[in-house]
Structure 1
């Protein structure tokens, strides 16, 4: 009798997942995997399993002192310095690109660089962006994305010792766009990364940041804002890996949903490793459901492998409008429609104010207002 096959032991911790730049190292996606169980596979499978065009795509950017933007070869030694793919879509994109868009921040004080990408088209494509903040530099990098897209991409972020970097990614795609994006960040000694995700447009948008605090004193402030309409799917799976001592993380994501079939997913993973003494960490996700037929899945996870920490916690909530808030506002002479807008604006303003770019904050506020006015038109 032949020996029995060894039992499959599932991955027990987030840090044990396979990381590889080769798509062949990942099995085809079936939807049974936890990392894919919520995703509408029919909408994205061509990006996980199909051929992708990895040629460079036209983009625009604002001139900014202390920054440099250029294409570099995918074989450049700097590529892969922030991390490697942990799923098949990311590996497919990684192995398909011919050039990597390099953004280097070397100035001080902070300058704002806006990179606009709107020429991907409807064919399946791959992209790769590498953002580097040189030691003791500071800057703001905004990736503004709109138009048509069928895109799988990787974004690497390397924050040098003592640097202060903000990276904002704004998804305002066309209604039928599909975007699978994985962000990998490596934060150095006494450095800080402020990472902001704003998802407002697209059919299926998945932006998953993986942040590694690898040196003492490293910190991350991770924020997310999303507003899903009928038929839209937005997913975020932030992972914060505390490797070094005296590191700090704050994760705060907020979303609003309206319309039948609107679906959002947030899975937050925080790992405090065995050498991460003195860690101070907190993550939360809050969702506001504005209509029937919308669904928000929210799953916070916390792993602690050392007992010598400052603090660690997580919170998650999903709810509808507070009737008492609406009643209070209406009792002051405010119409129901305006009261609803005030509640949602106040709910999301906390995240918008963290972006750090006044012009972008104003534009995102206007976009949220437009979403609310459109919703009133549908209800009317």
Structure 2
């Protein structure tokens, strides 16, 4: 899966002949899983039609602050567009547009959006050979890069003038590759291997009945998907759950019982950098599993239970340099019980859930957690979506590697 999947991209098009390549560029962004909003300068519409780009992007194309033909139309808010974007690309970036960007000239919607953008901005120059080498153009390149904007160098080849040399806008596939490599190289968990457990386990009583709990697996799946977005190589070991991974780069291993999860965790743990145990693993299982469905014959029925293996304890015993994170779901003496688990299981961090908090626990879209590290530093968090909690957990991982 492309690192551009799920990204919101503003594509700014200025008035050069290379604008004809932007149809392919939009199509490639969409194929990579990105959402694209095109903004055109008025001059660029002489080279490629808004209809083509709106059809390919599946979004209306903007080129002015408002529709002069519709007095009731709302204006195109350049600030909203600039804040919406995860990244902005200006391609082709003509000498005229580059000069305006470098000097803060704001005479069209594209430039107003550029000046409002808080995201990374890429620009792909396109102009004739002598223009590309002119001191004023080189000054624009230098100023824009000093602003933190990222230049996608022009390529050499036949130019519109008939000359051949440097100044040709990079081909769409090369632009996509450049941006993907740049984004991937800056992801904070790039190169890290993260193991995540999720969901409940089901401990069989007979072929049709089991002991389990109400865990949906949502917290673990959110952590896995967010970790993959941040560049990690993720293995997700999930007990029975209806959920599926959103990011194709997550390796999903499905298990049923605590024993199966134990075996899967030990299979991957040695080569793992970070392990996040979000699964609600059963503490007990039936000592003897019936091979046939148990018939309803007696007025009462007893099941002898035995302890399952404690996966976190076993991982804590063998960990070397792994950063090990556990979860604790408590109903009383929450902080003290969580601290005891940190010591007993050799954890670096524990994520404490309390069933006393509204909006936390199994089956909810939200969670309210408290972080406690191995030094017993306590950090209570507000009620948040499980996706936001996942990001908070992974920020702890990032901070660990940045120390």
TM-score, scaled to structure 2 = 0.24
Q: Which has the larger radius of gyration?
A: 2
Which one has a larger percent helix, Structure 1 or Structure 2?
A: 2
TM-score, scaled to structure 1 = 0.25
